[in-house]
Amino acid sequence: MPGEVMPGEVHGGTTGPRSVPEIVPEPAVDGPARVPDLTSAGRSAVVPGAAPPADVGPGTPDDDAPVVPHLLPSGRSPGRTVGAALVTGVVWAAVAHHFGPHLLAAPFLAFEALAVVVSVTDLSHRLVPRHLLYGGLAVIVPLLVAVSAVDHHWSHLGAAALWGAVSFGAFFVIWYVWPRSMGFGDVRLAGVIGLTVGFLGPIHVYLAFLSGFVIGLVFGLVLMAVASAGRKSHFPFGPALVTGATIAVLWGGTLGQHLFHSGS
């Protein structure tokens, strides 16, 4: 019929006096809208108020667990730098007093410098960078070799390599079975601790990790009480590990005698 618009005949133009322009509805968007996130983590940000995506569920990093804030400023901080220098000086003085004028002090001075840097980095960025650990090993291992050559005690170097491998392997199993318990940087750090402290003996290695886990537990409980963190929250574990290692280096022999009635 004249002037009647038949179905399918309207495509944005006009068809007779009663034609109307075609209206194309915008497609509906299901689920949360995502915007690119230009952070190093490579994640996409979910617009606030939208429903969580399907790939995020309980036990993932994006769940409702409280987020523990950075315990040290992540940017440039003169106070953090001065504090790290003071801690390094105090620990170096303790190591020098403990070992005296002996070459054995050298690898442990290097280890303690690495321990402070790792602690500050983990507290400010929640990372234990591999380049720090590999750089530390590049200094510590030759010094341990030099000590073995001077003292003609190559068995200590072999024991150090063994305990480094055992420590790395044990932490790797924990990380593989329960990946939320720690980062892989902590696994590498455990290997460095086992190698360095293992040069002193197996009791020192045992006390290093025992102290580290106890300190980590106490540290986590304090953060849960002070920072409103939950049991699923992630805490920096590196500072606890290196603190336990320092305790073993300085007092491992004395603690070993009291706990196991044997010298180290």
More confident residue, 158 or 19: 158
How far from chain centre, in Å, is Cα 43?
A: 18
How far from chain centre, in Å, is Cα 73?
A: 16
Taking the C-alpha atoms of residue 115 and residue 164, their distance in angstroms, rounded to an integer, is 16
More confident residue, 26 or 229: 229
Q: What is the pLDDT of residue 231?
A: 65
pLDDT of 208 above 70: yes
Is the pTM here over 0.85, yes or no? no
Taking the C-alpha atoms of residue 151 and residue 115, their distance in angstroms, rounded to an integer, is 26
Q: What is the pLDDT of residue 58?
A: 34
> pLDDT of 50-87, one tens digit each?
333 333 333 334 444 454 556 676 777 888 889 999 99
